[in-house]
Amino acid sequence: MIKITPEELKTITGYIHDISGIHLEASKKYLLETRLSSVVEEHGCGSYQELYQKAKRDARKVIEKQIIDAISTNETLFFRDNGPFELLRNKILPDLIDARTPRSPRLKTPLRIWSAASSTGQEVYSIAIVLKELLNDISKYNIKLLGTDISDAAVKQASMGKYNKFEIERGLTRDKLNKYFTLSGGFWKIKDEIRAMANFRKLNLMLPFAGLGKFDIVFCRNVAIYFTLEDRKKLFNKIADILEPDGYLIIGSTESLTGICSRFTPKRHLRSIFYQLK
Amino acid sequence: MNMSILVADDDPVIRRLLEKRLGDVGYGVTVAVDGVEAAGKLASSHFDVVITDLVMPGDIGGIELLQIAKDKDIMTEVIVITAHSSIDTAVDAMKKGAVDYLEKPVNFDELFLRLEKIAQLKSLVRNADDLRNAMDVTESSAAQTIQNLEITAADLQLKIDQIDTFLRDSQLNEYDKIDKALQVIGS
């Protein structure tokens, strides 16, 4: 494994922050080495400095993407921490449907949901499964379910909806697995009816949310923890901008908005917390 | 790691040989004379590994047994044994989730190596599961603490905002301001 010098550590962590918003402390030296040394070798570079120079010159941003894929954490699972999905099923969706259902039965009920750091898609598909089970006839709804992530590789896997046995056995019951996935070539693939409900695209949460539109529900779980306090403030402020006045924000179960964004107020439902605009 | 292994083969010689050799190195071995008996054993007990012949008499062949085993527990690993002539079926079995296939006659060194690999993988998975469980416990306990703090902080912020409004209210005299502020604090 190629060792990183203190100067390189500064350069590389600065660069990673610029391209992804991910803030790495100097103590994450070992993480950088384990995740990046193969990228350094692959591009025939002798050092991290050389990789950095090469990445900066690379107009196609191939190296930049590889660095993001290598550094971003894709720890996720289906129905990770059941609380938010119970919240969605028992509180948020029923309330939203009450508020959004048009008077005319010919019009569809709009529901716009965004998973801001969708990783390899498990959260989005868990949401889709909840929607499908709760709403019965989803054709009566105009559903926009968007998943975004900084990593191209994660977005690609999410789009394919294809999981190996280690990814699949975590969080999914046998019943849900059989109902919503098909086994092919040793992989489980999400069924088309669920896949068709979702869209995935790459998004850097540090950049403006131009063109995203407004949302009724935003999931932004366990991603802001990788950002600096300043970047977190900016992020949740931008989320407040794109959330409907009566919309819902769900953050990670060990995250907090105290001292980060005063535009939200926390509300408790059973054992979970959600946020709404003041 | 002491793994439990289910052997399904209709050939009594191979069956006994597998039972003896695997038992000798310390694995817990159960044998079944065909797919149907193996399926019955799978229904009543858990096995880490299933070693099955691909072609067996009766309604349940190797491929069907593979699917039954995977349906019951996705983490059960299945090794299929095949004659050279049915390699294609063995490859098909791999696609359906078998971890490996062995050609007849069974080379035991090869089989032991593969079982060793499976045992290592299972032990890594178990470690990862243990870590994840420990993390879940820590996380959910931290989550409750954070939730309580979050709600308390929001309540206090609300009081501060109310007090601020009273203190800035030019309609109120100083005594009323203090009086109202104290009411909020005491509420």
Residues of A with CB under 8 A from a CB of B: 81, 83, 165-166, 168-169, 174, 183-186, 253-258, 262, 265-266, 268, 271, 273
Residue A261 pLDDT > 70: yes
Min CA distance, B97 vs chain A (Å)?
Answer: 5
| Tokens coding A268 | 């408790």
Min CA distance, B136 vs chain A (Å)?
Answer: 8
Q: What is the pLDDT of residue A27?
A: 84
Residues pairing with A252 in the sheet: none
The residue ranking higher by pLDDT, B90 or A40, is A40
- Mean pLDDT in residue range A30-57: 94
Min CA distance, A197 vs chain B (Å)?
Answer: 27
Q: What is the pLDDT of residue B1?
A: 66
pLDDT tens digits for range A8-20? 999 999 999 999 9
Per-domain residue ranges of chain B: 4-106, 135-186
Q: Look at B74 and A169 and tell me if their CB atoms are within 8 Å.
A: yes
pLDDT tens digits for range A53-66? 999 999 999 999 99
Per DSSP, B151 falls in state H
Q: Look at B151 and A258 and tell me if their CB atoms are within 8 Å.
A: no
Min CA distance, A164 vs chain B (Å)?
Answer: 10
Min CA distance, B130 vs chain A (Å)?
Answer: 13
How far are the Cα atoms of A12, A72, B29 from residue A61, in angstroms, in the given order?
16, 16, 54
Q: Look at A183 and B147 and tell me if their CB atoms are within 8 Å.
A: no
Residue A165 pLDDT > 90: no
| Residue to substitute from A183, A187, A264, A276, interface B, most B β-carbons within 10 A | A183
SS3 of residue B4 by DSSP: strand
What residues in B contact A183, CB-CB < 8 Å? 96-97
Q: Which residues of A157-191 are buried (b: 16+ CB within 10 A; e: fewer)?
A: bbbebbbebebbbbbbeeeebeebbebeeebbbbe
Q: Which residue of A has its CA nearest to B145?
A: A254
CATH number of the A83-277 domain:
3.40.50.150
Q: What is the pLDDT of residue A80?
A: 78
Q: Look at B154 and A265 and tell me if their CB atoms are within 8 Å.
A: yes
Mean pLDDT is lowest, of A54-58, A225-229, B126-130, for: B126-130
Q: What is the pLDDT of residue B89?
A: 86
Q: Look at B150 and A169 and tell me if their CB atoms are within 8 Å.
A: no
Residue B66 pLDDT > 70: yes
pTM, entire model:
0.82
CATH number of the B4-106 domain:
3.40.50.2300
Q: Which of A165, A254, A262 sits opposite B143 (nearest CB)?
A: A254
Q: Look at A255 and B146 and tell me if their CB atoms are within 8 Å.
A: yes
Distance CA B129, CA A134 (A): 31
Distance CA A215, CA A222 (A): 19
Min CA distance, A218 vs chain B (Å)?
Answer: 19
Helix axes A29-42, A6-20, angle to 10 degrees: 80
Question: Do A250 and A84 contact (CB within 8 A), yes or no?
Answer: yes
Q: Which of B74, B95, B150 sits opposite A256 (nearest CB)?
A: B150
Min CA distance, A154 vs chain B (Å)?
Answer: 21
Residue found by looking up tokens 């593969």 in the block: B114
Q: Which of A254, A262, A273 sits opposite B142 (nearest CB)?
A: A254
pLDDT tens digits for range A117-151? 999 999 999 999 999 999 988 999 999 999 999 99
Q: What percent of chain A has pLDDT over 90?
A: 81
What mean pLDDT value characterizes chain B?
92
ipTM: 0.78
| Tokens coding B76 | 């059960």
pLDDT tens digits for range A61-112? 999 999 999 998 777 777 778 899 999 999 999 999 999 999 888 899 999 9
Q: Look at B143 and A165 and tell me if their CB atoms are within 8 Å.
A: no
Q: What is the pLDDT of residue A216?
A: 98
What residues in A contact B142, CB-CB < 8 Å? 254
- Cβ–Cβ pairs < 8 A, chains A and B: 51
- Mean pLDDT in residue range A24-37: 90
Distance CA A255, CA A278 (A): 19
Residue A232 pLDDT > 70: yes
Q: Which of A165, A169, A258 sits opposite B150 (nearest CB)?
A: A258
| Tokens coding A10 | 């500064």
User: At A163, is the pLDDT very low, low, confident or very high (cuts 50, 70, 90)?
Assistant: very high
Per-domain residue ranges of chain A: 6-71, 83-277
Q: Which residue of B has its CA nearest to A266?
A: B151
- In Å, how far from its chain's centre is CA A262? 23
What mean pLDDT value characterizes chain A?
93
